[in-house]
Structure 1
Amino acid sequence: MDNYRFHHELRVRFSEVDGQGIVFNAHYLSYLDIAFAEYLRRELQLSSGMPRTVLAKSTLQFRQPAKFDDVLQIWVRTHRIGTSSMTVSFLITREDEVLFEAEHIYVYVNEDGQPQPVPELWRQTIEAYEQGR
């Protein structure tokens, strides 16, 4: 998908579909959480601070339902880093079909849950990655 360098793939499990045979909407947030963790851990090697990012805002756009046994690609891209927050975009696709779009705002917090500046290592690593360096 254009402008996305990272994706994580997963297969829809039977326990994730509802009586209509489609993925229950709450599972999409879990899919995004899994992909974001893999983006930080596997792709950027920033796993040490993952528990310090909290979701502050989420915007979701459902386009087409995913179904049992579908293989989904969850695309992740950080497109803005502020003082203490990061805006991350997601796409969920099945082959080349966009099923779902989302934008999350994560806030980096200290041990007491108070916002703190995004660490410079994170900022440099994410910006370099997203710019293709």
Structure 2
Amino acid sequence: MTPRTYTHDIEVQFRDLDTRSHVNHVVYASYFERGKERLFEEVLDTSLSSAPTVVRSLDVEYVAPIEPDATVTAALGPVETGETSLTIEYELVTEDDTVATGRTVSVYLDDDGQPTPLPDAWRDALAPYCADEAD
């Protein structure tokens, strides 16, 4: 069965626009981050700002511009849990059209800033979103 997808809607703000009156390319990554922030709050029951993680890599594939006054749906999933890392796939959609896809890899850190295994509670909460663990 296909893993669950987590979604979060984002309203485009005037500050997101560039001189060509569409969403600036760097803002796409912030939309990924806003979806990830909600995933952490609602699924992992922790704020992204207090989670001991750092982004190791970020990939963005731009498909189409995002126009002003759009509502962007950030779809997150599937998720992959490694020993110390969390990989999230993203898709940004407006009016049923994919405007970007992406991927982040974040590393879970101990108190000394060293990679350490993801907590079992996180693995359990993310299981429905993981391709290898979905029923």
TM-score by length of 1: 0.88
SS at match of 2:117: coil
Structure 1, gaps ≥5 residues long = none
Match of 2:27 in 1: 27
Q: Pick which of 86-95 and 76-85 moved more.
A: 76-85
Higher RCO, 1 or 2 (CA under 8 Å, sep at least 6)?
2
SS at match of 2:29: helix
| Greater share of residues in helix | 1
CA distance in 1, matches of 2:56, 2:14: 30
TM-score by length of 2: 0.87
Encode CA deviations 1:9-41: one digit per residue, 9 max, x unaligned: 011111110000111111111111111010121
Match of 2:113 in 1: 113
CA distance in 1, matches of 2:83, 2:118: 6
Cα offset for 1:132?
Answer: 5.6
SS at match of 1:113: coil
Aligned pairs, how many? 131
Residue identity over aligned pairs, in percent, reads: 22
Cα offset for 1:48?
Answer: 5.7
Match of 2:46 in 1: 47
Q: Which letter maps to 2:80?
A: R
